[in-house]
Structure 1
Amino acid sequence: MKYIIAGTDRPDSNTLKISKHIQSIYQSLGEAVEIIDMKEMKSHLHDDIHYGKTSAGMQPYIDKVLGSDGLIVVVPEYNGSMPGVLKYFIDHLKFPESFEYRPVCFVGLGGMFGALRPVEHLQQVFGYRNAFIFPERVFIMNVHKILAADGSVQDELIKNLLMKQAQGFQKFTEALKTSKLDANAVIAQKKKP
């Protein structure tokens, strides 16, 4: 299963609204995906010792990443980078197996630049962790203008870009899986005697 990481803990965030739209795209393509919501997860970020010792509250989120077929990271721009809660979540994840050979794609949302900076920062982090980064990124500028009151996406160009990314990411993850180059295949191979 793939997971969408809604990369902020802001209440009623546009990030979660876009994440739900992306989830509906994957459903329309015949694939169930789940959302990892930083707002839900953040209550567990501080209930463990961190750096190698995981609490029972954090374990389900970590297990989702460790077992995922791919990650779709949806990130807003905060002060020229990603929200701190997203980086802190990443810091909780096991090294190297959380991201090594794991397919990942990015959607940035924000004002004038559509979260270009946080997506580039995340590409550096995931690249350092040896993830397979899907090259088609989506940047949503002026996100507040493309969302209706009910949270639905109103802009046809953005809908098309998100659909194209989802279709491409499905092919990308399937190609890696078929070739046994994805993280789950690599982890299974390492476990063999």
Structure 2
Amino acid sequence: MAQYQIAVVVGSLRKDSFNRKLANAIVKLAPAEFSFKQLEIGDLPLYNQDDDAQPADAVKRLKAEILAAQGVLFVTPEYNRSIPGVLKNAIDHASRPYGQSAWAGKPAGVLGVSIGAIGTAMAQQHLRNMLAYLDMPTLGQPEAFIHAKDGLFDSSGNIGPNSKAFLQGWMDKYVAWVKAHAG
């Protein structure tokens, strides 16, 4: 049985964020041959092209973890109709210097949860535009604009019964996507 290591990038630094909860819960819906590792992005310095020749240790670690993965799962909130700055900073670091992107070719999935009725639709669209440029084949359907409401998570932090079938279907599609596109 093949093993697939998936890098999980949560676009929120908040310990109890809905998106971190979603990231922790949805990975439980994956098959046994998939393992997931949440990557630390809160310790990255602000991206500065002057540092490309000698990146910080946190940047080296991030790039190595992405390169070791067979896919990437982005779980992001929406800030001001786009992705959070901390996520953009991580994307920029791992894509530089030019021609040495850790993201290239990694199959991606994009999710997000918000208290807003449209979930994270705008943030996901902006993120998908970046991922296309970064040469990351990105699962297009089903889209998952999750509305945070009572019952999304059960008392143990798992996906609640009203959302489980939809999110299981999303995970099944993501798993097939990774298997089809992982190098």
Under a length normalisation based on structure 2, what TM-score does the superposition of the two structures give? 0.83
Give the 3-state SS of the residue equivalent to 1:3 in structure 2: strand
Shift of 1:154: 2.1
**Which of 107, 110, 116 lines up with 2:111 in the alignment?**
107
**Which of 13, 33, 37 lines up with 1:34 in the alignment?**
37
2:25 paired residue number: 21
Root-mean-square deviation over aligned CA pairs: 2.2
Give the 3-state SS of the residue equivalent to 2:58 in structure 1: coil
How many residue pairs get aligned? The number is: 172
Deviations 1:115-166 (A, max 9, x none): 000000000000111110111221101x14323465333242x322221122
Q: Equivalents in 1 of 2:47, 2:131: separation in Å? A: 25
Give the 3-state SS of the residue equivalent to 1:152 in structure 2: coil
Give the 3-state SS of the residue equivalent to 2:109 in structure 1: strand
Shift of 1:36: 1.8
Under a length normalisation based on structure 1, what TM-score does the superposition of the two structures give? 0.79
Identity value in percent: 20
1:85 paired residue number: 86
Q: Is the 8 A contact 1:4 1:23 kept in 2?
A: no
**Which of 162, 165, 179 lines up with 1:160 in the alignment?**
165
Q: Which has the higher helix share?
A: 1
**Which of 106, 118, 127 lines up with 1:122 in the alignment?**
127
Deviations 1:94-122 (A, max 9, x none): 34432222100111211110100000000
**1:93–1:47 CA distance, 2 compared to 1 (3 A):** closer
1:4 paired residue number: 8
Tell me which amino acid in the other structure corresponds to 2:92.
Answer: D
Q: Is the 8 A contact 1:7 1:83 kept in 2?
A: yes
**1:155–1:67 CA distance, 2 compared to 1 (3 A):** same
Q: Equivalents in 1 of 2:77, 2:161: separation in Å? A: 18
Which sections of structure 1, spanning at least 5 residues, go unmatched? 183-193
Q: Which moved more, 1:67-76 or 1:158-167?
A: 158-167
Deviations 1:157-182 (A, max 9, x none): x32222112212222221224xxxx3
Tell me which amino acid in the other structure corresponds to 1:68.
Answer: A
Q: Which has the higher contact order (CA 8 A, sep 6+)?
A: 2
